Amino acid sequence: MKQTHAPTAETTSQGDWDDYIKAYYEKPASFKSWSGYDLKEIYTPEDRPGENYKKNSADAGTYPYTRGIHANMFRGRLWTKREVVGIGSPADTHARLKYLSQQGGSGLNTIADVTYEMGLDADHPWAIDEVGLTGVNITSIKDMETLTKDIPLDKVSWSLITASTAASVTMAQYVAVAQDAGYDVGILRGSIQNDPIHFRYCGFRPACPLDLSIKLGSDVMEYCTRNMPKWYYTTVNMYDLREQGITAPQEVAFGFGIAMCYIDELIRRGLDIDEFAPRFTFYVSCHVDIFEEVAKIRAARRMWARLMKEKYGAKNPRSMQFRFAVHTAGCSLVPQQPYNNMIRIAYEALAAVLGGVQSLHCCSYDEPMCLPTEKAHLQALRTQQILAYETGVTNVADPLGGSYYVESLTDKIEEESLKVMNQVEEVGGMEEAIRTEWLDRQFESEAVKRQKELDKGEKLMVGVNVFTTEQEKTTPLGVQKISSSSAKQQVAEVKELKRTRDMDRLNDAIKRLQDDANDGKNLIPAMIEATKALGTTGELLGTVREVFGYPYDPMESIESPFNF
């Protein structure tokens, strides 16, 4: 289904007035939401027969929290403007963090690179080529010290984006640094993504075997629940799932499915739902169909509240509140006509805010091309600031609530999402869906569908299948160079650390980690100790892996240096 008329740049530049006149009478070709649901011309009270406000919506801050988790939403506190940062070395990342916080950013947010997420030290044969290209690698406590240098950890809120089993080490490294600096971990505020199960779908299967993912993910969750009451120990990542090309209801359904794997494990360990659920958070996408995304978020809030109350018997209101951060959809952006991305990102940020987000990362416009330059990063932050300070969307909680359309769409997304959750049950539950690769097949078939929609013109994208222009030769706000000398230096420092550290102390710590793993204990304390003894990411994870029967090295190219 094509546009009835979609002039290309070439025609109009030749002064074809015919096209111009046709464009005046243009109609949209499709009346479906992004996820494919038919929409009516207009929604009226008739679409809401028997509406039960108290049961299905209620005010913001009241169960089932459809309209928001706080009664006053942004009047009480603006969402955190938390731009993701991760470039090159810990020192480079630290500099960018400082820059953004001076420009008005209100939350620190650092992301691991592929080598760190895979659990490799910077000097690992597979890591050497790629250290620092997509984020930061923290091999030892020294790197974490550099990253956090001079930053008052007792006052800031820090989001650590390590998703894989390496998150256990990240947590240990952060705690170790905080403790060495004299902070009481009980007052630390922030979050750690810690969602290794979903990371299997981001290319990290070697680092995230299912059983180890549940084990280490839950160890972090349990440790934080008991020791760090102000810390959010997981941000279950449905954003990455959505990036695979799935629909909005699938995003919620699969995200909840993965969340339940962790929840069930924590309950199995003897924790009470109300003990830990208040600190359980999510990472959600905002794609470019504004209304569908708002409806999705509202549906997720309602579904989560009911899930916690009815399935898990939660009593604490905070357990039933769907707390989430948003990352605007990377897959909605394209390199063609790059400035367009700023507009898409602005709309997506709007959806996030209209949806009542707690913490927001806006992509920078160069997301489909490279890591952001300072300018690009700043522009993303400004996008948030204009939204927060100029548009007035912060004045009222759930401003779209009550719209006949948005309420209908919220119900629709909830309905479809529950259907998908049933599908997962029919396949045997989430773990089974993962093991049998049923989930992989969903992602693969949806991804092909999305591409075909673009190829056939069923979904339109400016610069891709309509209004296309010659490929640009330059990137408007410059290209961020990742310093290869930074990487080389980090590798050299890692080698030096391994050469000069106290091996007796380290061996003792590694032995303890091994013992704790064999005894089924929570491994974070041992990891903290080993980190302070200058044990590295690869060494800590490798030791645990071996106890669980896996090769020391996820890439199976190096052996454990320890020989007990």
Partner 1 sequence: MVKRLLAGDRRSAARLITLVENEMDDHHKVMSLVYPHTGQAMILGITGAGGAGKSTLTDHLIGKFREQGKKVGVVVVDPSSPFSGGAFLGDRIRLQSHSQDDGVYIRSMASRGYLGGLSRATYDVIRIMEAMGNEVVIVETLGAGQDEIDIIHIAHTCLLIVTPGMGDDIQAMKAGIMEIADIIVLNKADLDGANTSLRHLQGALTAGSFEEGEWMPCVVSTVSAANKPEDLQGIDELASAIAEHQTYLRKTRAIDRVKYNRVEQELGLIFKDELQKIIFKGLKGTGKKREYIESIIEQRNDPYSVVEEVLNTYLLPGE
Partner 2 sequence: MAEKKKIKVLVTKVGLDGHDRGAKVVSSLLKEAGMEVIYLGMFQRPESIVRAAIDEDVDVIGLSYLSGEHLIFTPKVVDEMKKNNFVDVLLIAGGTFPAEDIPIMEEMGIDKVFRAGSLTESIVDYINDHVEE
Binding residues vs partner 2 (CB under 8 A): 114-115, 118, 126-127, 129-130, 133-134, 202-204, 206, 243-245, 334-336, 366, 368-371, 443-444, 447-448, 451-452, 454-455, 461, 463-465, 471-475, 479, 482, 555
d(CA 330, CA 365): 9
The smaller minimum CB distance to partner 2, of residues 206 and 551, is found at 206
List Cβ neighbours of 437 (8 Å cut-off, separation of 6 or more).
none
In the complex, least distance from residue 382 CB atom to partner 2, rounded to whole angstroms: 21
Which partner from the list partner 2, partner 1, none does 353 bind, CB cut-off 5 to 8 Å by kind? none
Does 552 contact partner 1 by CB under 8 A?
no
d(CA 259, CA 255): 6
3-state secondary structure of 33: coil
For 502-525, give the DSSP string.
-HHHHHHHHHHHHHHHHTT--SHH
Which two three-digit tokens encode residue 542? 């490798």
CA dihedral angle for residue 88, residue 187, residue 81, residue 369, rounded to 10 degrees: 20
The smaller minimum CB distance to partner 1, of residues 338 and 554, is found at 554
Q: Per-residue string for binding with partner 1, 500-539, x by CB under 8 A?
A: ----------------------------------------
| Sheet strands side by side (includes 80-81) | 80-81, 359-361, 323-328, 280-286, 234-237
The smaller minimum CB distance to partner 1, of residues 88 and 209, is found at 209
In the complex, least distance from residue 359 CB atom to partner 2, rounded to whole angstroms: 24
Select from 176-184, 186-194, 263-271, 544-552 the region that touches partner 1 (CB under 8 A). 544-552
d(CA 424, CA 442): 11
**Exactly one of 20, 31, 389, 548 binds partner 1 (CB under 8 A); which one?**
548
Which partner from the list partner 1, partner 2, none does 365 bind, CB cut-off 5 to 8 Å by kind? none
Helix H or strand E segment including 288:
none
3-state secondary structure of 528: helix
d(CA 458, CA 121): 46
The smaller minimum CB distance to partner 2, of residues 120 and 530, is found at 120
The smaller minimum CB distance to partner 1, of residues 211 and 515, is found at 211
In the complex, least distance from residue 210 CB atom to partner 1, rounded to whole angstroms: 8
Amino acid letter, residue 164 = S
Question: Which among 95, 105, 169 is positioned nearest to 137, based on CA atoms?
Answer: 169
Cβ neighbours of 559 (radius 10 Å): 11
In the complex, least distance from residue 18 CB atom to partner 2, rounded to whole angstroms: 26
Which partner from the list partner 1, partner 2, none does 366 bind, CB cut-off 5 to 8 Å by kind? partner 2
3-state secondary structure of 466: strand
In the complex, least distance from residue 452 CB atom to partner 2, rounded to whole angstroms: 8
Residues in 190-249 that interact with partner 1 by CB under 8 A? 209
| Contact predicate 477/369, CB 8 Å | no
Which partner from the list partner 1, partner 2, none does 133 bind, CB cut-off 5 to 8 Å by kind? partner 2
Which partner from the list partner 2, partner 1, none does 209 bind, CB cut-off 5 to 8 Å by kind? partner 1
d(CA 124, CA 131): 10
**Exactly one of 550, 552, 553, 554 binds partner 1 (CB under 8 A); which one?**
550
3-state secondary structure of 204: coil
Which partner from the list partner 1, partner 2, none does 548 bind, CB cut-off 5 to 8 Å by kind? partner 1
| Contact predicate 242/287, CB 8 Å | yes
The smaller minimum CB distance to partner 2, of residues 204 and 223, is found at 204
The smaller minimum CB distance to partner 2, of residues 41 and 470, is found at 470
**Exactly one of 27, 549, 563, 564 binds partner 1 (CB under 8 A); which one?**
549
Which partner from the list partner 1, partner 2, none does 245 bind, CB cut-off 5 to 8 Å by kind? partner 2
Which partner from the list partner 2, partner 1, none does 360 bind, CB cut-off 5 to 8 Å by kind? none
The smaller minimum CB distance to partner 2, of residues 52 and 474, is found at 474
The smaller minimum CB distance to partner 1, of residues 209 and 257, is found at 209
| Residue in the structure block whose two tokens are 């530049």 | 13
Cβ neighbours of 246 (radius 10 Å): 24
In the complex, least distance from residue 257 CB atom to partner 1, rounded to whole angstroms: 21
* Chain centroid to CA 464: 26
Which partner from the list partner 2, partner 1, none does 451 bind, CB cut-off 5 to 8 Å by kind? partner 2
The smaller minimum CB distance to partner 2, of residues 267 and 555, is found at 555
| Contact predicate 254/420, CB 8 Å | yes
Which two three-digit tokens encode residue 48? 């809401």
In the complex, least distance from residue 495 CB atom to partner 2, rounded to whole angstroms: 20
Which two three-digit tokens encode residue 25? 């009478």
| Contact predicate 325/291, CB 8 Å | no
Which partner from the list partner 1, partner 2, none does 72 bind, CB cut-off 5 to 8 Å by kind? none
In the complex, least distance from residue 229 CB atom to partner 2, rounded to whole angstroms: 34
The smaller minimum CB distance to partner 2, of residues 88 and 278, is found at 88
The smaller minimum CB distance to partner 1, of residues 107 and 209, is found at 209
445: exposed, middle or buried (C-beta count within 10 Å: 0-12, 13-18, 19+)?
Answer: exposed
The smaller minimum CB distance to partner 2, of residues 139 and 244, is found at 244
In the complex, least distance from residue 454 CB atom to partner 2, rounded to whole angstroms: 6
Which partner from the list partner 1, partner 2, none does 475 bind, CB cut-off 5 to 8 Å by kind? partner 2
Phi/psi at 360 (nearest 5 deg)? -130, 135
422: exposed, middle or buried (C-beta count within 10 Å: 0-12, 13-18, 19+)?
Answer: exposed
3-state secondary structure of 248: helix
Which partner from the list partner 1, partner 2, none does 334 bind, CB cut-off 5 to 8 Å by kind? partner 2
* Chain centroid to CA 511: 34
Select from 22-30, 193-201, 482-490, 549-557 the region that touches partner 1 (CB under 8 A). 549-557
| Contact predicate 284/326, CB 8 Å | yes
Give contact residues for partner 1 (rule: CB under 8 A): 209, 548-551
